[in-house]
Amino acid sequence: MAGGARVEAIENSGHLDFPRPLTTVDVVIFAILDDRLQVLLVRRPAGEGEPFPLSLALPGGFVDVAKDRDLAACAARKLKEKTGVASPYLEQLGSWGSAVRDPRGWSATHAYFALIPADAGVLTGDAQWHPIVGGRLKAKLAFDHGEILASAIQRLRNKVEYTSLPAFLMPAEFTLPDLQRVYEIVLDRPLEKSAFRTRILSADMIEPVARMRRGPNRPAQLYRLKKNSEPVYFVRTFNPPE
Amino acid sequence: MAGGARVEAIENSGHLDFPRPLTTVDVVIFAILDDRLQVLLVRRPAGEGEPFPLSLALPGGFVDVAKDRDLAACAARKLKEKTGVASPYLEQLGSWGSAVRDPRGWSATHAYFALIPADAGVLTGDAQWHPIVGGRLKAKLAFDHGEILASAIQRLRNKVEYTSLPAFLMPAEFTLPDLQRVYEIVLDRPLEKSAFRTRILSADMIEPVARMRRGPNRPAQLYRLKKNSEPVYFVRTFNPPE
DNA sequence: CTAAGTAAGTTGGACTGTACAACTAACTAT
DNA sequence: ATAGTTAGTTGTACAGTCCAACTTACTTAG
């Protein structure tokens, strides 16, 4: 009560010298490697006073008010620093803030999630890929990053059900069965071939290139994403999702 | 470059005495009044040094690190203060942060959106309802609140296409045509009666009460939301939304 | 007391896109 | 040649929306 009135008074008088939460940005970066959905994680530093020393964590850190124009730029910067990828699919996931999530005090993080193609994975520094098995990560993460990651996985699965998001996980050229495989990896269930092809081809999001993928059996048509490809939203989900 | 290195150093050494962004929470509160979608707005104070004096703005304010356990609690508090509603549908919308959105400095706001029933609108203080016409608000808002509101409207419309969200805008008892009307108001297009009824009734989210709504013509069955009603997700959208 | 009017609710046929399953096509390896 | 494998197609069943006409239950005007 008293606290609330105090803040109102401060707000009305225009003074800003009250305690501010810490502000961070974290990025959940997904890619498909070894036919599995994987997430990029870093190890926390071991220094004096560091929270969660040597734990695995999402890449991220404090917003730099001198350097970051806005939150999305901050997220893009962190992604670039870890992977070298400049223009991935990058979407805001949500924010997590509380008094207890960081032992250093009240803090709020703005979480983003990114999808990058497998062949764009030029890792720098300490970042490493970790597979998601059964919709979960084995390891425990620092802070509430486990919760954030779970939320990102859920959001991804949800959207894959009715959007073309997996296209952003594909290399420059890919076949329709390749794409279907990625859908199935993310959803962790098989999809119907003919319905899948009908849906994707009628979405006008990919175009054939003049080559075929050759292998030990029938060659498959190669496709690429069309330019300026926003994600496509379908009007139905695939199966009854349970 | 220098700035980034500096922040890294700070982070590694565990010191936290660098500039922090301002942290706020804003809430987009929707209700249906007079057969229109309306949003609750407040007027900014006129005091010395106040940004956007007397402009219309979303209800919100600084996070109070002494009082708010987490962001959702902060949003719920602000909603309660303005409307008296304790348990609305409350969903995180996203966050907006940049160097320039608030003249007082780098700031980030965590935006929520809430749906409350028309008959729960016991306004307190300076808050007032403003209609959304043609998917837009007439007035200009303070800060980037116009952008946040537009995003909330878009999110709402999107979700109404394939979820039961409008149920949270209804009074305790309502008829199916009432509910359909609310869908149509939000989507700003007519829906097909029989498909609408099939969809809603098979979703197992509402139950009939033992009364009918009587009027100048055929009485209509009254329904209420079932207990513990999470929003329902349908596997199709209504029309091809374009 | 009947007839007209209106909104609630139902019914049936057309259409769209997925589910399922069988099929053909194109290639490699034996 | 033949078997094996994956790419890609075809056809029937089914679910749910779209569209339009219909029946039902009430009020009000005459």
pLDDT of residue A242: 54
Q: What is the DSSP string of chain B?
A: -HHHHHHHHHHHHT---S---EEEEEEEEEEEETTEEEEEEEEPP--TT-SSTT-EE-SEEE--TTT-SBHHHHHHHHHHHHH--SS-EEEEEEEEEESSSSTTSSEEEEEEEEE--GGG----TT-EEEE-BTTB-SS-BSTTHHHHHHHHHHHHHHHHTTB-GGGGGS-SSEEHHHHHHHHHHHHTS---HHHHHHHHHTTT-EEEEEEEE--SSS-EEEEEEPTT-PPPB-SB-SS---
- Which residues of chain B does CATH 1.10.10.10 include? 163-225
Check CB contact under 8 Å for A22 and B19.
no
How many CB atoms are closer than 10 A to CB B77? Answer: 18
Check CB contact under 8 Å for A21 and B65.
yes
What are the pLDDT digits (tens) for A4-13?
Answer: 434 443 444 4
For domain B163-225, the CATH class is: mainly alpha
Residue B195, phi then psi, degrees to nearest 5: -65, -40
Contact flag, residue A208 CB and nucleic strand D, below 7 A? no
Check CB contact under 8 Å for A97 and B110.
yes
pLDDT of residue A5: 39
What are the pLDDT digits (tens) for B116-151?
Answer: 998 876 777 789 999 999 999 999 999 999 999 999
What are the pLDDT digits (tens) for A60-94?
Answer: 999 999 999 999 999 999 999 998 888 789 999 99
What mean pLDDT is reported for chain A? 90
In angstroms, how far is C20 C1' from A192 CA? 9
Contact flag, residue B214 CB and nucleic strand D, below 7 A? yes
Q: What would be the CATH architecture of the domain defined by A19-159? A: Alpha-Beta Complex (3.90)
The yes or no reply on domain B20-159 and CATH 3.90.79.10 is yes
pLDDT of residue B159: 96
DSSP 8-state assignment for residue A119 = G
Which residues in chain A are contacts of B163 at CB distance < 8 A? none
pLDDT of residue B238: 85
In angstroms, how far is C11 C1' from B187 CA? 27
Contact flag, residue A192 CB and nucleic strand C, below 7 A? yes
In angstroms, how far is D5 C1' from A192 CA? 18
What are the pLDDT digits (tens) for A23-48?
Answer: 999 999 999 999 999 999 999 999 88
Contact, A58 vs A156, CB < 8 A?
no
Which residues in chain B are contacts of A19 at CB distance < 8 A? 65-66
Contact, A80 vs A29, CB < 8 A?
no
Which pair of tokens denotes residue A105?
Answer: 């005090």
Which residues in chain A are contacts of B67 at CB distance < 8 A? 3-4, 7
pLDDT of residue A47: 87
Pick out chain B residues at pLDDT < 50. 1-13
Nearest to B47 among A13, A50, A104 (CB): A13
Residue A125 has pLDDT above 80, yes or no: no
- Which residues of chain A does CATH 3.90.79.10 include? 19-159
Which pair of tokens denotes residue B171?
Answer: 């009074």
